[in-house]
């Protein structure tokens, strides 16, 4: 693990990615303590105030301090994206590995159905699910997890197919181990690397998908300080208070770039043969 980290830091992408991630993690962990104001405190006289000593990043249409909202909103934005991606990857990985294990006809059937589900575009799937489950960040997370699962299943399956043909798996089958045991104990651990890489990159998609769902009105609901919702709300006041739009957009970009870079860095670090 530490070896992986050192390799990661050595690469410029890994280094920048981890630094940005550290910033984001800081906001998530200590956000509320760093926030000078309560994120939902409205202030009639301070509406649309420009960035200055009273509001470091300015104030929005309710007079709420944007910096405070960013700090507190980190907790609504990033962990949600992580959970959604993790859940989607977990489900997808199990499907993918299971399909590879069973092989043959079952594999065909599972994968064809999986591809069929993938034929529904992610955003559309998320929209349908949120309309069914109801608006809100939690349901949006579930919807995104379900939307991600088929893609992860696909990625996992192709790696798992290789693993399936390894000796240790064949030995386990010969020993008479049960399917579940083989899937979870022999195969899954060995497909971790690609899953982790793919998931890390997907976290950035999840952050943006969340923001888009908030823009369409079905993600996080007011008065939450989720970054995507902040951007969506700030759009209509863009001409009066551009800072209300810029600050959360930059925050989202930082988080997305962080995960992207780390994902790329991991891919390079875990595949030493590619000297890039």
Partner 1 sequence: MSLAWLIRRLLLMAYTVIVVSILVFAITQILPADAAQSLLGENATPEALAALRAKLGLGDPAWLQYAHWASHVVTGDFGVSMCTSQPVGPEMLAALSRSLLVAVSSILLTLAVAVPLGVVAALRQGKFTDTGVSLVAYLGVSLPEFVTATLLALLLADTLHLLPATGYVSPLEDFIGGVRHLALPVLTVSVILIAHVMRMMRSETLDVLKSDYIRAARLKGLPERTVLFRHALRNALLPVVTIIALDVGYLLGGIIVIEEIFAIPGIGRALMVAITARDLPSIQAGALIMAATYVLTNTLADMAYALLDPRIRYD
Partner 2 sequence: MLSITRRHFLAGTAISLTILPKMALAEAPKRGGVLRMSIDQAASVIHPMLARVNPEYLVTELLYSNLTRLKPDMTVEPDLALSWEPNAALTEWVFKLRPDVTFHDGSPLTADDVVATINAILDPKTASPGRTNVGPIKEVAALDPLTVKFTLSGAYADLPVALTYLNARIVPAKVVTGALASLSTAANGTGPFKLTSYEPDRRIIVERNPAYYDPARPHLDRIELLVYPDRTAEASAMISGEIDLLLTTTPGQYERFVKADGVKALRTPSGQFLNINLGCDQKPFNDVRVRQALALAVDREATVGFVAGGYGTPGNDTPLSSAYHFYKNIPLKKPDIAKAKQLLADAGYPNGIDLTLIASDQPATRAQLGVAVREMAAAAGFRINVQTMPHATYLDQVWKKGIFYVGFYNMQPTADAIFNLLYTSNAAWNETRWNNSAFDAVINAARVENDEAKRSALYGKAQDMMHTEVPSVISAFFDLLAAQRSYVEGYVLHPRGSVFRLDMVSLGAGAPKRT
Binding site for partner 2 (CB under 8 A): 40-42, 44, 47, 61-62, 131, 134-135, 217-218, 221-223, 235-240
Cα distance between residue 148 and residue 123, in whole Å = 10
- Write 127-130 long-range contacts (CB < 8 A, 24+): 127/213, 127/216, 127/218, 130/213, 130/218, 130/219
Q: Which does 74 bind (CB under 5 to 8 A by kind): partner 1, partner 2, none?
A: none
If one asks whether residue 97 binds partner 1 (CB under 8 A), the answer comes out as no
**How many CB atoms are located within 10 Å of the residue 86 CB?**
16
Distance of alpha carbon 225 from the chain centroid: 18
Provide the minimum distance between the beta carbon of 35 and partner 1 in the complex, in angstroms, as a whole number. Answer: 23
Among 83, 90, 196, 253, contact with partner 1 (rule: CB under 8 A): 253
Contacts (CB under 8 A) with partner 1, residues 209-228: 209, 211-212, 215-216, 228
| Between 112 and 175, CB nearer to partner 1 | 112
Distance CA 107, CA 112 (A): 8
> DSSP characters for 41-68?
---GGGTTPPSSSSSTT-B-TT--BHHH
| Minimum distance, C-beta of residue 203 to partner 1, in the bound complex (Å) | 12
Q: Of the candidates 232, 241, 247, 266, which one interacts with partner 1 according to CB under 8 A?
A: 232
Give the interface segment with partner 1, choosing from 3-11, 79-87, 167-175, 257-265 (CB under 8 A).
Answer: 257-265
């Amino acid at each position: 693990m530490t070896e992986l980290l050192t390799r990661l830091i050595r690469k410029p992408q890994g280094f920048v990615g981890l630094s940005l991630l550290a910033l984001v993690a800081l906001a998530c962990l200590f956000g509320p303590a760093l926030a000078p104001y309560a994120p939902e405190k409205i202030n009639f006289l301070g509406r649309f105030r420009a960035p200055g000593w009273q509001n470091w990043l300015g104030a929005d249409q309710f007079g709420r301090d944007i910096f405070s909202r960013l700090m507190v909103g980190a907790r609504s934005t990033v962990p949600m994206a992580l959970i959604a991606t993790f859940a989607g990857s977990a489900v997808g990985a199990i499907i993918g590995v299971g399909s590879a294990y069973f092989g043959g006809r079952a594999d065909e059937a599972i994968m064809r159905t999986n591809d069929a589900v993938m034929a529904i575009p992610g955003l559309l799937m998320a929209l349908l699910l949120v309309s069914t489950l109801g608006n809100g960040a939690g349901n949006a997370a579930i919807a995104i997890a379900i939307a991600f699962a088929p893609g992860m299943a696909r990625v996992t399956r192709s790696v798992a197919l290789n693993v399936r043909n390894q000796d240790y798996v064949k030995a386990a089958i010969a020993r008479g181990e049960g399917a579940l045991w083989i899937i979870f104990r022999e195969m899954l651990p060995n497909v971790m690397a690609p899953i982790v890489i793919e998931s890390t990159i997907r976290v950035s998609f999840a952050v943006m998908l969340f923001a888009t769902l908030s823009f369409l009105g079905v993600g996080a609901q007011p008065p939450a300080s989720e970054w995507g919702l902040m951007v969506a709300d700030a759009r209509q006041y863009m001409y009066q208070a551009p800072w209300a739009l810029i600050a959360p957009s930059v925050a989202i970009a930082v988080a997305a770039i962080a995960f992207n870079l780390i994902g790329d860095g991991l891919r390079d670090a875990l595949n030493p043969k590619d000297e890039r």
